[in-house]
Amino acid sequence: MMASLHVELAERSYDIAIGEGLLEQAGKLLAPLLRRPRVIIVTDETVATLHLQTVKTALDNCNIAHTEVILPAGEHTKSYEQLQLLLDLLLAGTPDRNTTLIALGGGVIGDITGFAASILLRGIDFVQIPTTLLAQVDSSVGGKTGINTRYGKNLIGTFYQPRMVIADTNTLLTLPKRQLLAGYAEVVKYGTINDYPFFVWLEEHGSRALAGDKEALQYMVEESCKAKAEIVGKDERESGLRALLNFGHTLGHALEAELGYGDTLLHGESVAIGMVLALKLSVRRGLCEQDDYERVERHLKAAGLPVSPLNIRKQWNANQLIQHCYHDKKAMDGGLTFILASKIGKTSIHQDVTKQELEALLAETLQIV
């Protein structure tokens, strides 16, 4: 069955379709939205081999003209160089302002395609067809687009909403286990920040979803998208409430930046570690009980996710990690912003985290003596 959720953003509102076999229905779902029956599919080399032909056939069945651009797979694609390449390839196809881009892939493809759509011809429509768990539950919803720089993750980008999101849960069955787990970290985030009953459901049923149970997978994606759609509808441009979605991301992004955005540490893995560190900081501040911190850590670890930087490598430069934190988008007036928890399901924004607190947290975590 297909579920439909609505992201309410006035004239920028759109629907999220979630269900099995939606790639085969892509033409029917998209046809009413298109300004003209012409699209350019942007995907990567890995996804192209798995899903591109299915989408092309679905478009052919609805007489929607299409071409494609295939980019390299991996986080390094979110770069100035690949953005320029993408824009040049798109322009070579002579698009006009009635052309629609389709982002077919994971978060990297969604982010760079959305960014390209927001600046190409001063803005054309695009649609998200996310094929990874992380993209389906997080990056495809909410209109954040962008690329990485040597100073940090997603520091160049725009808020630009898609016309629709089509999440085919069957694509999750083709994911490597590590990629599925990386997306699961973002799922756990929703339960931890403001939905305790969902966190309890994950404790009881998350392993079924990760094992490929289709009913559990669909419920997990639906609940995550509901949570994000509600927050985005209230705070599109992250002026307040939406910042809660960055739980675990400040130090998580710092870890990614330090490792150069490669395959050594996937984004979701960095978020898992970042959430544990944010909970540890919450305990150190007296905001959160030790039991809640250990409960979340235990669940992430049982799922197979890393919970410490030392799970990734044994030596880290704490000062360098802190410098990466100061490049975070949420840093304000030279201060650090963290999302901290008072308990599982209740978090808040704190803009007074000091360098000394981070130094102490990292000294303990990294076993610096």
Which are the catalytic amino acids? Answer: 122, 144, 186, 228, 238, 242, 246, 249, 253, 267
Rounded to whole angstroms, how far apart are CA atoms 246 and 272?
12
Rounded to whole angstroms, how far apart are CA atoms 156 and 168?
29
Give me the torsion for CA of 228, 140, 75, 216, rounded to 10°: 70
Radius of gyration of the chain (CA): 20
Rounded to whole angstroms, how far apart are CA atoms 119 and 106?
20
Rounded to whole angstroms, how far apart are CA atoms 330 and 65?
41
Rounded to whole angstroms, how far apart are CA atoms 148 and 146?
7
Tokens 């490929």 locate to 212
Phi then psi for 172, rounded to 5 degrees? -70, -25
Q: Going by C-beta distance under 8 Å and a sequence separation of 6 or more, which residues neighbour residue 46?
A: 73
